[in-house]
Amino acid sequence: MRPIIGVIGNQHLINDQYNVQASGTMNCDALVNVAGCMPLIIPSNPQHVSVEELQACFDGFVFTGARANVHPEEYGEAETEAHGSFDRGRDTISLALIRACVASGQPFLGICRGFQEVAVAMGSSLHPEIRDLPGRDNHRMPPDGTLEEKFALRHKVMVSEGGPFHQVFGATEVMTNTLHGQGIKVAGPRVVVDGHAPDGTIEAIYIKDAPGFTLSVQWHPEYNAANDPTSRPLFEAFGDAARAWNMRRMGRSLKSA
């Protein structure tokens, strides 16, 4: 049986009226075709799910990108217009679930907003708009063009020699897309910054002394994951971690039966 991966959902309105929980198909495609897992979308609503139930049901989690940003109250700052829109239900589920997974060793992969959630859950703060900082590039999605143009590779990311990302990529320099406005301001005490863009923007992190897979990236590796030389090994490594957890979970289930 394939490992079952919870893909965090996002609150979304269809035709500005019908409320749904949704996630990009690219995330599921990458999990199926590269990681070898079965994805299930999680409604990010604390009235529907609990952290304890989620951990009992899944072998790992993907915290995806989203338009809504982590609310600044979660890192001790006041809300401003620059912080954009929010999804407080997702904040409630994701931040608590990340902390629980760090403690238990259950694997997760953070992507874009998910990367920022991992950072905030572990005590980091965020810049509301990276492009407004002196010397920084505009990391936002290009407003025009095809999907291929929006997700095109746009800058290098340099990772630490000998670190976990180097081990996954087999290189200390990779090319990535970039589609985000916010970024890490001050990293939390256990947040290890392992990769930067050329302008200094933090692009890759993991959690110090965590017993499980906690690699998280600011870019979008789910796009073209089966063919991209940076994305494919990242999802393969996550899939391996989820399979290892699945074997332990199944072993625990057999013993308790």
Mean pLDDT of the chain: 93
Say if residue 16's pLDDT is above 80.
yes
Give the domain 4-256 fold.
Rossmann fold (3.40.50)
Say if residue 152's pLDDT is above 70.
yes
Ranges of each domain in the chain: 4-256
Least confident of 46-60, 141-155, 163-177, 222-236: 141-155
Q: What confidence score (pLDDT) does residue 75 get? A: 93
Q: Is 220 a catalytic residue?
A: yes
Q: What confidence score (pLDDT) does residue 181 get? A: 86
DSSP the chain: -PPEEEEE-EEEEETTTEEEEE--HHHHHHIIIII--EEEEEP--TTT--HHHHHHH-SEEEE---SSBPPGGGGT----GGG--B-HHHHHHHHHHHHHHHHHT--EEEETHHHHHHHHHTT-EEES-GGGSTT----SPPSSS-HHHHTS--EEEEE-TTSHHHHHHSSSEEEE----S-EEEE--TTEEEEEE-TTS-EEEEEETT-SS---EESS-TTTTTTT-TTHHHHHHHHHHHHHHHHHHHHHHHHHH-
Exposed (0-12), middle (13-18) or buried (19+): which is 77, by Cβ within 10 Å? middle
Is the distance from CB of 30 to CB of 238 less than 8 angstroms?
no
Work out the pLDDT band at 22, boundaries 50, 70, 90.
Answer: confident
Say if residue 256's pLDDT is above 70.
no
Is the distance from CB of 79 to CB of 73 less than 8 angstroms?
yes
Q: Is 57 a catalytic residue?
A: no
- Catalytic residue, chosen from 112, 127, 129, 180, is 112
Neighbours of 99 (CB within 10 A): 15
Q: What confidence score (pLDDT) does residue 238 get? A: 98
Q: Is 48 a catalytic residue?
A: no
Give residue-wise pLDDT tens across range 202-242.
999 999 999 999 999 999 999 999 999 999 999 999 999 99
Say if residue 175's pLDDT is above 90.
yes
d(CA 162, CA 159): 9
Closest by CA to 5, choosing from 256, 241, 248, is 241
DSSP 107-172: -EEEETHHHHHHHHHTT-EEES-GGGSTT----SPPSSS-HHHHTS--EEEEE-TTSHHHHHHSSS
